[in-house]
Amino acid sequence: MGEARRRSEQGLKPRNKKNPRSESPRIVSWFPVTQAQRDQFIQLSIRAGWIGIAALVILWIIVRFVGPAAGWWIPADIR
């Protein structure tokens, strides 16, 4: 006998189904983004920002020091 049938025969209410999305409340009721998703997005954007800063520093080192040292180009301020 199934759980639903047994509960209905005993006069019990149907079991509450657990919804994984309801564990973290939404930011706004009409917008389908939860607070946990908001926090994940913030962490992702912080990480992406640091990756961008590191890439910019590496590019600057290559353009300013590695390129002229390898003879690929001559910076305008050295002439």
- C-alpha dist (Å) from residue 9 to 2, 6, 15, 17, 71: 11, 5, 13, 19, 87
pLDDT at 23: 72
pLDDT at residue 68 is higher than 90: yes
Q: At 21, is the secondary structure helix, strand, or coil? A: helix
pTM of the prediction? 0.62
Residue from 76, 53, 73, 51 nearest 62 by CA: 73
Residue linked to tokens 């946990």 = 36
Backbone angles phi, psi at 16, to 5 degrees: -75, 125
